[in-house]
Amino acid sequence: MSDLSLHIRPEAESDSATIEKLHERAFGPGRFARTAYRLREGVPHEASLSFTALVGTLIVGSIRLTRIVAGGVPALLLGPVTVEPAFMNRGIGMALVRRSLAAAASEGHRLVLLVGDEPFYKRAGFRKIPRGQLDMPGPVDPDRLLALELEPGVLAEAKGAIRPDLAGALAARAETAA
């Protein structure tokens, strides 16, 4: 991480506005049209699996995971992973990915999907999903649909449509609040 004093901590509610501005700078206004964004629409991200990266008091990165159902299998959608453009290529994104995946595994999640660049994400263990096995609800380059099995063999169980899991997200929030 080339001499940055990086601190990764759970995302706080007060971080929301800063993270939204970070997403805007990193991805621009077209981000809302992307299929992955549309899958997350109306589904709260998992607070226990969402983290921010700070250099001093400056938020320089963020990661969020959202509950989905992948071909009948409960799963998580990783993203967006966002790094402040001035801090890119310093290992911050991968540090966030690894932290969120460790948290997901510790909570017993079995499968994580994302739409992204395989050369970057394969360092965290992600691989291409076989063509035709899962269907995103919108246009997606099938070579960018990636999966990480937190439980070996679970991807083979997932066949069919990928959809938001609002019921699962709300149940998890209620459980956390209790």
Give every CB contact of residue 35 below 8 A, 6+ residues apart in sequence: 115, 136, 137, 138, 139, 140
Q: Residue 162 — pLDDT band, cuts 50, 70, 90?
A: very high
Residue 138 has pLDDT above 90, yes or no: no
Span 39-58, mean pLDDT?
A: 91
Alpha-helix residue ranges (DSSP H) falling in the chain: 16-27, 35-40, 92-106, 118-121, 166-177
Strands 134-135 and 160-164: parallel
What does pLDDT average to over the chain?
A: 89
64: helix, coil or strand?
Answer: strand
For 81-130, write each residue's pLDDT tens digit. Answer: 999 989 999 999 999 999 999 999 999 999 999 999 999 999 999 999 99
Cα separation of 46 and 66, whole Å? 6
Q: Note the pLDDT tens digit of each residue in 13-42.
A: 999 889 888 878 777 666 555 666 678 788
Q: Show me where the domains of the chain are located.
A: 6-177
Query: Residue 166: what pLDDT?
Result: 81
What CATH fold (topology level) applies to the domain 6-177?
Answer: Aminopeptidase (3.40.630)
